[in-house]
């Protein structure tokens, strides 16, 4: 009991309770195939495959690194762009054309960091 | 006529030198502001606020069933942009909106800087 308390207390935040509820309500994504993902990654590489590449619109900042990212988070990010929950115009355009299987495959491919630039 | 054009070229050279000096000052200022991060303090805040979900050094998401990104090694400006968007409500997430709302711009900057300096994510191509 004491351990559980100490894990939760530092936040002391209602968000922790919300997160606990979410644990049981997140939809299961399709299983991804990293080999299929690689063959679908051409449209990602033009930005995410270039070290330090910067977006130009709507704000200028370096695009996020994807290599080694958590697969479920990558899938959620793409689903959120597809649904419009996330707003970046370029990513919304790209995600709009992806099926659930494409998203799962890309997430599986990028979740493996490979031997690439840090 | 001659004198006037010489005067204006001298003026131009002085203006150019002033501009260069200003540029040097600006870049010095920028590098000083990077030096001004306190790694120990930023690390402690990251541990207190973020580690329960994002793992030690933001390197191992630990919330099964709740998609949580790895932060270690992510681009500094991207992290700052993401946290700022959660802070101002332009990006929404039940957990992150609540976590980022009380942060100051300075705290956002410190956390983004701290996670960007950890070994982790890669540019895959």
- Check: CB of residue A51 under 8 Å from CB of residue B123: yes
Query: What would the mean pLDDT of B62-84 be, rounded to a whole number?
Result: 96
By the CB < 8 Å criterion, does B107 face chain A?
Answer: no
**Which residues, listed in sequence order, are joined to residue A67 by a DSSP beta bridge?**
B122
Task: Kindly report, residue by residue over A28-60, the tens digit of the pLDDT.
Answer: 557 899 999 999 999 999 999 999 999 887 889
Task: Kindly report, residue by residue over A48-100, the tens digit of the pLDDT.
Answer: 999 999 988 788 999 999 999 999 999 999 999 999 999 999 999 999 999 99
- Check: CB of residue B96 under 8 Å from CB of residue B49: no
pLDDT at B41 over 50: yes
**B contacts of A51 (beta carbons < 8 Å):** 123
Question: DSSP for A52-83?
Answer: T-EE-SSS-EEPPP-BT--HHHHHHHHHHHHH
What residues in chain A have their Cβ under 8 A from chain B's Cβ atoms?
Answer: 7-8, 10-11, 13-15, 18-19, 22-24, 26, 45, 48-52, 59, 61-70, 72-73, 75-77, 85-87, 110, 112-114, 116-118
**A contacts of B90 (beta carbons < 8 Å):** 87
Can the peptide bond before residue A58 be classed as cis, meaning omega within 30 degrees of 0? yes
Query: Residue B27 to residues A101, B20, B21, B30, B118: CA-CA distances in angstroms?
Result: 46, 11, 10, 5, 24
Q: Tell the CATH topology of A28-111.
A: Cytochrome Bc1 Complex; Chain D, domain 2 (1.10.760)
Query: What would the mean pLDDT of B43-61 be, rounded to a whole number?
Result: 97
Query: What would the mean pLDDT of B28-34 be, rounded to a whole number?
Result: 53
pLDDT of B17 reads: 76
Domain ranges of chain A: 28-111
What was the ipTM of the complex prediction?
A: 0.75
B65 versus B4: which is more confidently predicted? B65
Enter the pTM of the model: 0.75
pLDDT at A26 over 60: no
- Among A45, A62, A73, the residue with its CB nearest the CB of B125 is A45
The answer for residues whose C-beta is within 8 angstroms of residue B19's C-beta and 6 or more apart is none
pLDDT at A6 over 50: no
């Amino acid at each position: 009991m004491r351990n559980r308390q100490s894990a939760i207390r530092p936040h002391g935040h209602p968000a922790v309770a919300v997160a606990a509820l979410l644990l049981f309500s997140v939809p299961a994504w399709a299983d991804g195939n990293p080999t299929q993902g690689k063959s679908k990654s051409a449209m990602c590489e033009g930005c995410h495959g270039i070290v330090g590449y910067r977006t130009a619109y709507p704000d200028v900042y370096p695009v996020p690194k994807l290599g080694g990212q958590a697969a479920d988070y990558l899938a959620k990010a793409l689903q959120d762009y597809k649904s419009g929950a996330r707003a970046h115009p370029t990513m919304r355009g790209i995600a709009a054309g992806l099926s659930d299987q494409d998203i799962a495959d890309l997430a599986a491919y990028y979740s493996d960091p490979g031997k690439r630039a840090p | 006529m001659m004198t006037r054009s010489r005067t204006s070229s001298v003026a131009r050279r002085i203006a150019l030198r002033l501009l260069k000096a200003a540029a040097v000052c600006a870049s010095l200022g920028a590098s000083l502001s990077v030096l001004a991060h306190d790694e120990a303090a930023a690390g402690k805040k990251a541990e207190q606020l973020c580690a329960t979900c994002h793992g030690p050094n933001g390197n191992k998401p630990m919330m099964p069933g709740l998609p949580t990104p790895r932060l270690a090694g992510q681009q500094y400006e991207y992290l700052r942009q993401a946290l700022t968007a959660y802070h101002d409500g332009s990006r929404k997430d039940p957990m992150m909106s609540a976590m980022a709302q009380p942060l100051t711009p300075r705290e956002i900057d410190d956390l983004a800087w701290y996670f960007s300096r950890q070994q982790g994510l890669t540019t895959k191509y």
